[in-house]
Structure 1
Amino acid sequence: MTWEEIVDKKRKALFALIPEKWRIPSDQLPPESERSVISFIEQSNLLTAEELAITALKVNELSGKIASGEYTATQVCQAYCHRATIAHQLVNCLTEICFDAALEQAKELDEYFQKHGRTVGLLHGVPISLKDQLRVKGLESCIGYVSFLGKVDGDESILTELLRKAGAIIYVKTNVPQTLRFGETVNNIIGRTSNPYNRLLSCGGSSGGEGALLALHGSPLGVGTDIGGSIRIPASFSNLWSLKPSHGRLPYGNIKTTLDGKESIASVCGPMAHCASDLVYFMQAVLQQEPWKYDPKSIDMPWRETRYLEGKTGKKVFGVIATDGIFGFDGTIMPHPPILRGIQQVITALRKAGHIVVQWQPYKHKYAADLIEKIFSADGAAPAKRIIASSGEPPIPNFKNTYELNIPPIDLESLWKLHTPHSAVKHDDYKYYGYTEVINLLDWPATTIPVTFTDKEKDIKNMQYKCMNDLDKETYEAYDPDIYDGGPVGIQLVGKRLQEEYLLGLTEQIGEALVA
C-alpha cells in the first residue's frame, strides 16, 4: 500500500468510530469563512441540556457530583464523548476514539459505586483526554508518522495506568505534529488542527490537538507533553491553564517518542485544564497513586499541601523578564502588541492586589536558547528523517527545510515571562521558541495563565520599532492585527525546580488578581 492509501484507511476508520447520530450534516457545519467556532456547540442545539451542564463543570465540581450520586460515570462519559466528536468535526483534533471501551469502564465504575457507596479515587468517572504520545492498550500511537500506523499498543504508559487507578476514563487521544517538534499541529494522517477561537490561526503544538479539544470543552482535563513549550504554547493559544512540571514529578515511563534515550533535555508530561484549581486536583490525584513505585525516574515526593498554601496566600514579589525597560522582552525577539498589553494587564492587577513586581534581566538568555537548539539538532534530525522516509510520506511544511538540508550531526522565588512573542500565530508561521525552551533547559516548572484576547483596535503595530535581528524582523512583520484578532493571549509563570505546589498557589493568586 502507498502511504496515501494507508492514510485514507486510517481516516475512514476514525470517522467510522463516530456514531452516526453524532455526525453533523455538512450544511449544519459553520462555513470555512467563519473564523471563530468557540461558541458553536452552545448555539447549535446539538447537545442536550444535561450534556451542556455536565461539560461546563470544573473537574472538582464534576467529581463531586459523581461522588454524591447526582451524575453517574456513564452520564458524564456519554456527554464528553458526544462533545468531543463535535469538536473534532469543527477543528480536526482527534487521532484515536475508544468510546465503547470508555463506556464499559464507566459502567464498571458505576457498579463499583453502587456496591461500595464510594468512589475508587479522586478522578472517579472523570473523562481525561490524552496526547497521542500516551499509550493506551488496543490503540495506536502514530505520533504524526505514517510508518507508525497499524502498530497497536499492547500495554499502556505508566501515567495512563495511574489515571485509571484514580478512576479516570480514557476516551480519546489527540493530534500532534509530525516529529512532535513544532508550535503547530499538522501531519499527513489527520491533517491540520485549527484554533477554535480563530481558525485562521494555529492551535499551537505539539499538544495542539489537546488544546483545541479542551478549548471547545470536549474534555474536562487533558494530558500533554513538553520538551520545549509543547504544553504551554497550545495552552496559551487556546485560553487554557496548564502545568509543565520539573522532570520526575510525574511519570513519563512508556510514553512514545521519536527517539528513546535522548535525555539531554528531558521531556515531561503535565495537565491542561480550564482553571488553575483543576491543575491542583490533577496533581493531587496522580501523586496520590505514588508514581515513584511504578516509574524509577519518578521522584518520591508526595503532594505538599503546606507549600501550595504558602504560594496561594500572602503578598509576593514577582519578577518579569525585561530588557531595556520593556517588560516581556528577552532582548532577542520583541513581543507583538497584544502580548505587551497582556503583560501590562497582569502587572497592573498584581500591583493593585498589593504584590510587588520587578524587572528581571535573564542571564545569558540568547546563549541558553541557542544551546538548547544545538542540543535538539545534534543528530541532524536523523531519526525523524528515517521514520518519515520509511513510509514515503513527505515532510510537513514546518519540517521541510530541515528535512531537505543535509545537517551534519555533532560529534560527541518566582518569575514570569512569555510563552511566545505572539498570541496564536498564522498557520505554519511559528518561528521562535526561546521564551519556552530555556525553561526546559533549566528544568524549572511553569504554568500557563490566560490573560486576554488580541484586539485589532487596541493592539496596533509599532511601525517605528527597529528590529534587533533578521528573525526579530521576520517575527514582528508577521503580525497582522486583522488576522490575529480574537486570538488568546497568555503568560507563563515560572518557579524553582520541583516547587510545583508553591507555583500552583502563585498561579491561583494571579488568576484571582486578574478577575478582581
Structure 2
Amino acid sequence: MPRAKVTIASGASWQDVAADRQRHRDATIASLNPPLRDLPADIPLDTTRVPESMLTAEELEITSQNVEDLIPKLASGHWSAETVIQAFMRRAGLAQRLTNCVTELLLKAVKRAAELDKYLANTGKTVGPLHGIPISIKEHIGLKGCDLNAGFVGWVGRVAEADSLILQILWDAGAVFYVRTTQPQTLMHLETSSNLYGTTVNPHNTTLTAGGSSGGEGALIGSRGSILGIGTDIGGSIRSPAANNGIFGFKPTAPRLPVSGWSATMAGSEAILGTIGPLSTSLEGISLFVRTVLSARPWLREPSLVAIPWREEERGRKLRVGVIWDDGVVRPHPPITAALSRVVEKLKESGEVEVVDWECWKHDLAWEIIAKLYFCDGGAEEKAAIASSGEPWMPLSKWILLDNPHVREHTIPTLWQAQQERDLYRTSYAALWNARDVDVILCPAGPGVAPKLETSRYWGYTSQWNLLNYPAISFPIGSKVGGEYKAYEYPTNYEPLSESDRYNYALWREHGVEGYVGAPVSLQLVGRIYEDEKLLRDLNTLLDAAGLSKTC
C-alpha cells in the first residue's frame, strides 16, 4: 500500500487529509470486478437484507457460511480460496455503502488466496487451520505498509513497518486479510465516529450506533461482510459492537493474546491493560481464533504475555451461574431485562444449570477507579494528537476526556495510590466470587440495546470487567426489538438510581420500542481471570441449556 501523501506534515488541512483517506477507500472498492451495482433508491432502516438483491446466489451462499462451515469446503476444494475472498470483498464493499464501516479493501488478498489454492492443488494439504478463511482487521492493528492513524487526522502518514504479531500468527495459519475497518477518534468511544471517515451506523437500524471502538468490525460482521474479525477492548470495545450488531465478541484476559504492533495513545501504560480479541458470527469462530493464536505460543515472541496454552478441562459439577439484573448504578432498558428474564427461566427449566442472583458490589466505585486510570497523563497525549491537525473534537471524545470528572494528570504518588485502589477492588471482588462460588456471571452487555447515535455514555456493564481483568463475551439471544416489553417496563414514577441512570431512563422515555426497533438483543457472560477457555465452554453449555443458537 502506498504511504499517504496528503497529510498534516505535507501542509494539508485536516479536511483535505480526511477527503484523501476517503478517496483511497472508495478507490479500493471501485476496483472490484465486476463493479458493485448501485444501491436501490429507498434503503430501509434495516439494511441486512439489501445484499439479497445486490449479490449473486453464489456470493450470498458463501457469505452466509460461518467459519466452521467454510473450513471443510475450502480444504476439500468445494470452493477455492480466491472465490471465497472475492465474495467477501464484494459484500464488504456493499456493507461500506450501507453502514460506513470500511477504511480500505486490501487488494492483495486475491493474490494471497490464489497462492493458497495453488498450494492446496500441489500438495493436497492446507496451509493451516485457517486455510483461506477471510479475516477483517480493525485499522489500528498494524499491517505492514498500511496507515496507522489510531483515529487521529494528525497521525495519518504513520505506516506499520511490519505486521502485528497476531497477524503474523494468523497468516501462518492460512488466513487471508482483505479489509480494514473503522475506529473512532481517540479509540475511546463505545461508538465509532471520527473526522477521518464519519460515523459508522448499525446495519439493523441505521439510526443506531454500531458500537465502538471496534464498531467497524461490528457493523461489517453484522452485515456478513466478514464472519471473523479482530478488535480491541479496554472498556467494552469488542463486546459493545458485538452486542449492538447481534454477533459474538470476546474480550480475553490481558495479557494472553499478543498486542504488539497496534497503534494507540497511552503506549506503555500498565494501569489498565487493553486486549485484543475476535468478533465472529459463531461461537466456534471465536474459539478457533483463540486456539489458533495460543497454539503458536506467542509468549515466546511477546514476553509480557502469560505462558498459558489452550487448556481442555472438564467441569466437575453442574454449571453455576450468577445473574446480574442491574449493577446498582444504571437499570437496563426493558428489552434487556426481558431477555435476561427469558434466558434465566429457560436455564432453570433445563435442570442442567444452577442459577443464583449476583448482588453487585460498588460498581460505581469501579468506574471511578478505572476512569482515573485510563488517562494517567490527564489526556495530554490525546489532546496533543487532536490539536496536531486542528480537527474538531468528536462529542464522545469530549465526554470521556474533557467532561469526565475523574480524569487527572497523575504524579507518581497519586498513580501509585490509584493502582492500590484498583488492586484492593480486585481483591475484594475476588473474595466475593470465592464466597458465592459461581462459575460465571450472566449480565447485560450494556444499559440497553444499540444506543442512538452520540448517546453511549455508560460503560459500566463492560468496563467493570476490564478493571477486574476478567474475560467476557457478548452473545446474541436471537431476537430483535419490535415486540412488547410492558411486563418489564419501568415502574410508574420511577426514581433513577443515579445521574447516569437518569440519562439512560430519559433515552427510553424519549424513544421507546419504536426508536430501537430492529436492534439485536444480546447479553454477556463473564469468567474469572485467566479462565478464558472455561468461559467459552461454559457459554456453550449455557446456550445448549437455554435452547439458544451458537451462530447468528
TM-score, normalised to structure 1, is 0.93
Encode CA deviations 1:48-80: one digit per residue, 9 max, x unaligned.
221111111111110111111211111111111
Match of 2:338 in 1: 341
In 1: Cα distance, 2:70 partner to 2:39 partner: 34
- Of the three residues 101, 126, 129, the one matched with 1:119 is 126
Encode CA deviations 1:219-246: one digit per residue, 9 max, x unaligned.
1201110111100011000001121110
Shifted more, 493-502 versus 14-23: the winner is 14-23
Q: Is the 8 A contact 1:166 1:289 kept in 2?
A: no
CA-CA distance at 1:365 after TM superposition? 2.0
Secondary structure at 2:208 match in 1: coil
CA-CA distance at 1:404 after TM superposition? 5.5
Distance 1:55 1:314, change over 3 A: farther
Match of 1:223 in 2: 230
Distance 1:146 1:342, change over 3 A: same
Distance 1:340 1:22, change over 3 A: farther
In 2: Cα distance, 1:424 partner to 1:125 partner: 32
- Of the three residues 470, 480, 503, the one matched with 1:453 is 480
CA-CA distance at 1:299 after TM superposition? 2.2
Match of 1:467 in 2: 496
Match of 2:529 in 1: 497
Give 5+ residue unaligned stretches, structure 1.
322-327
In 2: Cα distance, 1:403 partner to 1:356 partner: 42
In 2: Cα distance, 1:144 partner to 1:437 partner: 21
CA-CA distance at 1:138 after TM superposition? 1.6
CA-CA distance at 1:257 after TM superposition? 1.2
Distance 1:348 1:211, change over 3 A: same
CA-CA distance at 1:314 after TM superposition? 6.4
- Of the three residues 436, 445, 466, the one matched with 2:462 is 436
In 1: Cα distance, 2:155 partner to 2:111 partner: 27
- The answer to whether structure 1 residue 143 and structure 2 residue 150 are counterparts is yes
Match of 2:542 in 1: 510
CA-CA distance at 1:21 after TM superposition? 4.9
Match of 1:325 in 2: none
CA-CA distance at 1:258 after TM superposition? 1.6
- The answer to whether structure 1 residue 91 and structure 2 residue 99 are counterparts is yes
Match of 2:319 in 1: 316
Match of 2:73 in 1: 65
Q: Which amino acid aligns with 2:360?
A: P
Secondary structure at 2:201 match in 1: coil
Match of 2:369 in 1: 371
CA-CA distance at 1:491 after TM superposition? 1.1
Aligned residues: 501
CA-CA distance at 1:350 after TM superposition? 1.0
Distance 1:208 1:277, change over 3 A: same
Counterparts in 2 of 1:97-496, with a 5 A limit? 97-99=105-107, 101-305=108-312, 307=313, 310=314, 315-321=318-324, 328-354=325-351, 355-401=353-399, 408-412=408-412, 413-451=439-477, 452-455=479-482, 457-458=484-485, 460-479=489-508, 480-481=511-512, 482-496=514-528
Q: Which amino acid aligns with 1:137?
A: K
- Of the three residues 72, 77, 81, the one matched with 2:89 is 81
Q: Which amino acid aligns with 1:409?
A: E
CA-CA distance at 1:408 after TM superposition? 4.5
Secondary structure at 2:525 match in 1: strand
Match of 1:11 in 2: 22
Secondary structure at 2:194 match in 1: coil
Encode CA deviations 1:458-510: one digit per residue, 9 max, x unaligned.
35454432112222111111112211122112111111111111111111122
Q: Is the 8 A contact 2:36 2:90 kept in 1?
A: no
Give 5+ residue unaligned stretches, structure 2.
1-11, 413-438
Q: Which amino acid aligns with 1:54?
A: I
In 2: Cα distance, 1:450 partner to 1:392 partner: 40
Encode CA deviations 1:81-127: one digit per residue, 9 max, x unaligned.
1111010111000112212x111111111111112111111101001
Shifted more, 368-377 versus 117-126: the winner is 368-377
Secondary structure at 1:254 match in 2: coil
Shifted more, 71-80 versus 210-219: the winner is 71-80
Secondary structure at 1:37 match in 2: coil
Q: Is the 8 A contact 2:26 2:104 kept in 1?
A: no
Secondary structure at 2:522 match in 1: strand
Secondary structure at 1:105 match in 2: helix
Q: Is the 8 A contact 1:36 1:196 kept in 2?
A: yes
CA-CA distance at 1:419 after TM superposition? 1.6
In 2: Cα distance, 1:288 partner to 1:256 partner: 25
CA-CA distance at 1:143 after TM superposition? 2.1
In 2: Cα distance, 1:60 partner to 1:66 partner: 11
Q: Is the 8 A contact 1:277 1:508 kept in 2?
A: no
In 1: Cα distance, 2:297 partner to 2:79 partner: 28
Secondary structure at 1:448 match in 2: strand
Q: Which amino acid aligns with 2:17?
A: I
CA-CA distance at 1:9 after TM superposition? 1.2
- Of the three residues 2, 26, 40, the one matched with 1:28 is 40
Q: Is the 8 A contact 1:22 1:85 kept in 2?
A: no
Q: Which amino acid aligns with 1:37?
A: T
Secondary structure at 2:523 match in 1: strand
Distance 1:29 1:170, change over 3 A: farther
Q: Which amino acid aligns with 2:21?
A: K
Encode CA deviations 1:149-178: one digit per residue, 9 max, x unaligned.
122222111001111011000111110110
CA-CA distance at 1:363 after TM superposition? 2.7
Distance 1:404 1:279, change over 3 A: closer
Q: Which amino acid aligns with 1:457?
A: E
Match of 2:6 in 1: none
In 2: Cα distance, 1:514 partner to 1:72 partner: 37
In 2: Cα distance, 1:509 partner to 1:185 partner: 33
Aligned CA RMSD, in angstroms, stands at 1.8
In 1: Cα distance, 2:68 partner to 2:32 partner: 32
Secondary structure at 1:214 match in 2: helix
Match of 2:433 in 1: none
In 2: Cα distance, 1:234 partner to 1:247 partner: 19
Secondary structure at 1:17 match in 2: helix
Structure 1 vs Structure 2: percent identity of aligned residues?
37
- The answer to whether structure 1 residue 56 and structure 2 residue 88 are counterparts is no
Distance 1:507 1:401, change over 3 A: closer
CA-CA distance at 1:514 after TM superposition? 3.4
Secondary structure at 2:388 match in 1: helix
Distance 1:499 1:368, change over 3 A: same
CA-CA distance at 1:281 after TM superposition? 1.3
